[in-house]
Chain A
Amino acid sequence: MDTVVSPVRPFDASEPHRFARAVSDLRDGFGFWRLAVALAWGDIKQRYRGSILGPFWVTLTTAAMVVALGFFFSSIMKVDPTALFPWLAVSLIFWAMISQAITDGAECFISGEGVIRQIALPFTVHVLRCVLRNLMIAAHNLPLIFVVMFLFGISPGLAGLVFFGGLLIFVVNSFWMAFFFGIVCARFRDVPPILTSLMQLFFFITPIIWMPEQLGDRMAWLSLNPFNALMETMRSPLLGRPIGMEIWLQALGYSAALWALGLTLFTRFRGRIAFWV
């Protein structure tokens, strides 16, 4: 035991070295990935305790929504069902994933307030816990996409693998969204309900229950909606729809801005989070 080096933690408020500390927090936080996985899994067990279907309830309600909306739009609004059903299924599932990542991620520090004030852990662990938990829940919905694709005979071929690129962008985004919104919401408690309302708004103005072609010559406005680009990078490869380079550029551009904002906020306010929760 004598040869073990003691850890040294110096802190000088006049020279806080905030960026270096943020980077160490990220690095050390990833070192605790096993803890984050165990906590995420524990959260899911806790949330669905006593229920029979557990997270598959989400799958069931999404399927019900797809069927109901699909029949409504195809029989009453006379939209072609073979294009509509797969579009609806994939869009609803991906939207649920995105909006859950945002609204749940916004609470990642607030919900960890007990542990934050009791145990010194990298803040990245709380974010990882949240992101992993939401990914685990989203994974229960993904089989539904493949069922729909099979039922409607959609087979995108190898090009469908591009979906994983879009998925990777989403995962990194949900990580930084949790940092950004988590910090803002820890400081300003009005923001979580505002976020929920905003997500409801975006549900309607993003092509989810309607298709972009319905906008006609006003389709260019969609480039102002970051969710559109994000959804397209995941959705179009799976459905075999063409996806232009400008969508990828938009997706990466908005994402890079998010990552930069998230890192900036984390660097500046990491030391304050424990005082805010």
Chain B
Amino acid sequence: MPRIETQDLTIEFPLYHHNARSLKKLLLADAIRRVKRDAESRVVVAALSGLSFTIGKGERVALLGSNGSGKTTLLRTIAGIYEPVAGRLLVEGAIGSLIDSGAGMNPLLTGRENIMLRGLYRGLTKQDRRVMAGEVAEFSGLGEFIDLPIRSYSAGMNVRLSFAMATAINPEILLMDEWLLVGDANFMSKAEDRLTRLVTGVDILVIATHNMDIVRRCCTRAIKLDAGRIVADGPVEKVLGD
């Protein structure tokens, strides 16, 4: 049963490769909220502090908060990139992430080769990779360019390819960092369809966004973060209404 459960989840980023003396002066300032010393007296940024929540099957959660409040860090932690320094995290379900849709692309490889590479990153079998390559090539509408190195692509073509690749997934939990906005008017409408179908087809959606339209349209629940802590958690209308 897909779910995400956290208890006192805490993520701290150590600041090693910086001037230690200037950081210590910083700590004396009054306005400091999240730069602090941890248990071993290292200077850290407390990105997330003591988060506790449970997200169950069928929920579509919007992560709200100003820039730097910890939304992307939380998404990456759920995705398994960062390990909590305190607290508990339980993620059950196959994860699909749209956070970095262009990750791992090699500009010297062709579009098709990049799709196959993305398939390898996802751990797909050769047969599944071929099916994915065919489907993505067709959707992206790049025609003959799919077999040319992506160095030769325009920015718009790159976006089409990375969008088509990133959305060629069928996960139980979907993580998004802002709604993907893409391409020219033609592509945009079929991209909207594809993304909406993906979003409605998953068991759990967690999307970090500033776009209140998307929140009202797609989400059932909103969790608001401020300086790495949860300040509101409830149904969308209630949280947005406050």
- Which residues of A are interface residues toward B (Cβ below 8 A)? 1, 4, 6-14, 16, 31-32, 34-35, 38-39, 42, 45-46, 49, 114-121, 187, 189, 271-272, 274-276
Contacts and interface: CB of A to CB of B under 8 A. Distances in A.
Interface of B: 1-2, 10, 13-14, 16-17, 76, 79-94, 97, 99-100, 103-104, 106, 108-109, 116-117, 120-121, 123, 170, 172
A42 B106 contact: yes
Given A118-B81, A120-B79, A11 B100 contact: no
Contacts, number: 91
Contacts of B17: 189
A60 B112 CA distance: 34
Max chain A C-beta neighbours (<10 A), residue from B13, B81, B99, B117: B81
A114 B76 CA distance: 13
A6 B172 contact: yes
B91 A275 contact: no
Given A34-B120, A42-B106, A119-B103, 10 more contacts: A7-B94, A13-B83, A32-B120, A35-B117, A35-B120, A118-B103, A118-B104, A119-B104, A121-B121, A274-B81
Given A114-B103, A187-B16, A271 B83 contact: yes
Contacts of A6: 1-2, 92-94, 172
Q: Interface of chain B, helix or strand or loop or mixed?
A: loop
Contacts of A42: 106, 108-109, 117
Contacts of B106: 42, 46
Nearest to B79: A120
B81 A46 contact: no
A9 B92 contact: yes
Nearest to A42: B106
Contacts of B109: 42
Contacts of B16: 187, 276
B177 to A, nearest CB: 11
Contact of B84 (A8, A11, A32): A11
Given A13-B85, A117-B81, A120-B79, A38 B90 contact: no
